[in-house]
Amino acid sequence: MKKSTLLLGLSLLSSSVLANTYNNQVDFNYLNVDDFNVINLEGTHYFDSVTTNNTAWAEAAFMGRNNSVTAGYTNFDSDAYSLALGGDYYHENIFVGVDFSFVDVDNSANEKNLVVELGYFFAENWLVSVSGSDAGLSNSLALNTKYIATLSDGAFLNFEASYLNDHDDFTATADYYWTARSSVGLNLSTEDGYDFGVRAQHFFSPTISARVEYIALSNDDAVSVGITGRF
């Protein structure tokens, strides 16, 4: 009886590993710019299991259109902190994203901000959306798009772009996944003070990944590192 139970348990464990699915994700990020340190911790729960089969692992939730809720904490060099709560909802080809943040500066001033994003999938992995904030809607409107192409030999290409209404700024990002587990990317923007950024991410296993990013700013450079855990 004990032997049968053990074999059943090993069988279920093997099936779970082979399925490469997860319901929760924890992200830790550290950013340094001009001796200024930013630490971010974020947790996401997916209501349906996310699968990494036949997809870029970093983009699995988007490609699977998995509904989720996210909570986060950010510390700005001990001078300020922010709390964030948000969620993504997919219904057929419709996407709704909501993010609420609370920022406290030196325990003397605080600010609340609500961002809402509404989008539509024009193709399987092509989303076009409009987003805006309640803190000055006319100055925060943005037109966004995200597209993931499936290439040959298990490679993928992620492309994202946004047009920001405030100063007619344009941002674009491209990530090339030469395997489902590994990617390199480039960020470009016309925003004041931002030149470009390069980044890379690799999954050592279905549950652990690490990433690094270099950002060239007009007056300084920034470096960011992060790790992700999934379970």
At 33-68, the pLDDT tens digits run 988 999 999 999 999 999 999 999 999 999 999 999
Can you give the pLDDT at residue 4? 52
Lowest pLDDT segment from 13-27, 167-181, 205-219: 13-27
Angle (nearest 5°) at CA 160 between 84 and 73: 15
- The number of angstroms, rounded, from the C-alpha of 83 to the middle of its chain's C-alpha atoms is 17
Can you give the pLDDT at residue 195? 84
Domains of the chain: 22-230 (2.40.160.40)
Specify the higher pLDDT residue, 193 or 159: 159
Helix (H, G, I), strand (E, B) or coil at 48: strand
Counted residue by residue, the chain has a size of: 231
Name 156's Cβ contacts closer than 8 Å, sequence gap at least 6.
Answer: 55, 56, 59, 148, 149, 150, 176, 177, 180
Q: What is the pLDDT averaged over residues 151-160?
A: 95
At 157-191, the pLDDT tens digits run 999 999 998 888 999 999 999 999 999 999 999 98
Can you give the pLDDT at residue 11? 44
Separation between Cα atoms, residue 135 and residue 138, nearest integer Å: 9
Separation between Cα atoms, residue 37 and residue 78, nearest integer Å: 9
Share the mean pLDDT of the chain. 90
Q: What is the pLDDT averaged over residues 71-92?
A: 96
Residue 1: band (very low, low, confident or very high) from pLDDT cuts 50, 70, 90? very low
Q: Which of 217, 219, 211 is nearest to 57 (CA)?
A: 211
